[in-house]
Amino acid sequence: MNSISRRQFLRTTAAVTACSAAAPLLVPQPIWAAAIEPSAAKLPRWRGFNLLEKFTARREGNPAFREEDFQMMQGWGFDFARLPMSYHCWSEPDPARWLKMDEAQLKHIDDVVELGRKHGVHVNLNFHRAPGYCVNPPKEPLDLWKDEQALDACAFHWAQFAKRFKGIANSRLSFDLLNEPNDLPEDTYARVVKRLVEAIRAEDPKRLIIADGLKWGNKPVHSLAALGIAQSTRGYAPMRISHHEANWINGSQNWSEPTWPLKIKEGDVWDKERLRKEQIAPWKKLEAEGVGVHVGEWGPFNQTPHQVALAWMRDQLELWQEAGWGWAMWNFRGPFGPLDSGRADVKYEDFRGHKLDREMLKVLQRF
């Protein structure tokens, strides 16, 4: 207990006791997260989930984030919420109106940052759809990587967020610039990232900033190291485990039922050691350059057999624990996560009006 004071420990214990009294199935919040002051060179081992209230713009309007999610995460020992957001939630898709922002929707983001403070959960704001780019359809009207109007608008939006949240500690809040840039030339990506970082730092020089790796988050970007920002990787490999029969992945319905380890063909086998070599080692080289690393997304789709999913998860989690990296599962409520996942091969537990995959939760809590 060298890293925190006895007073901090007693205060944490008292809070956990009160939470447990209200919800007896919960487990104590860990105290290790307080040990490291966040910096771009070394991130805490934050662990948690992606929350999707602003993931896509809804015709009926997007709801506020749920305090219940933060209560459950805190009670179960998790301390990180990544919020993949579409700018369509607070701005219009028409480039002529990109600089007009809806204050009512932005108030929801103010509120979720406060929920994070209240429940001891770090909030990571991410542009899943930015002016000019999204990994998912529909295609944006302008191209962030080529069109200056799109880059100007994206920089403007991040500058507004930086101004809005200036002074909030990095232990509570970080910015994740752009979700999963595709297979771009590195210099193209670096030019855009540099511009966004400059826009943020013009308003808040101290804000903790994270950039996703290239190739949809899988490739570390060494040329960004000099910017003093951290980077986010992914934990979906191999896709035949994580996205088995996912209807948005072409050909996934034709994959054979997976096992773990996974043999695709002779000489093409995925196991823990291959994950270590291909998914951990390249990012460890980046980390050695003074760049903090976090796993921003990962998880198994609900068509992957449950026991296969859990075995794969254990190996992933053990590797990240060894590496000292945190992670954010996709998602908390939904087909990848521990709540309301819709799996056919799970005996769910009723929990606060949700269907809880207790076995998955226990695996997540171990690491």
Measure Cα distances from 63 to 25, 57, 158, 179, 327 in Å.
Answer: 28, 10, 21, 21, 25
Regarding whether 121 and 94 lie in a shared domain, the answer is yes
Q: pTM for the whole thing? A: 0.90
Regarding whether 49 and 23 lie in a shared domain, the answer is no
Query: What pLDDT score does 23 carry?
Result: 39
Regarding whether 14 and 89 lie in a shared domain, the answer is no
Query: pLDDT by residue (tens digit) across 280-325?
Result: 999 999 999 999 999 999 999 999 999 999 999 999 999 999 999 9
234 beta partners: 297
Regarding whether 113 and 5 lie in a shared domain, the answer is no
Query: What pLDDT score does 221 carry?
Result: 98
Regarding whether 21 and 107 lie in a shared domain, the answer is no
Regarding whether 68 and 197 lie in a shared domain, the answer is yes
Regarding whether 333 and 259 lie in a shared domain, the answer is yes
Low-confidence ranges of the chain (pLDDT < 70): 1-36
Burial tier of 125 (Cβ tally within 10 Å: 0-12, 13-18, 19+): buried
Query: pLDDT by residue (tens digit) across 252-262?
Result: 999 999 999 99
| Domain, as residue range, for 348 | 39-366
CATH code of residue 321? 3.20.20.80
Query: What pLDDT score does 10 carry?
Result: 35
Query: What pLDDT score does 37 carry?
Result: 78
Regarding whether 77 and 23 lie in a shared domain, the answer is no
Query: What pLDDT score does 36 carry?
Result: 60
Structural domains counted in the chain: 2
Q: Between the CA atoms of 197, 189, 182 and 261, what dihedral angle is there, to the nearest 10 degrees?
A: -80
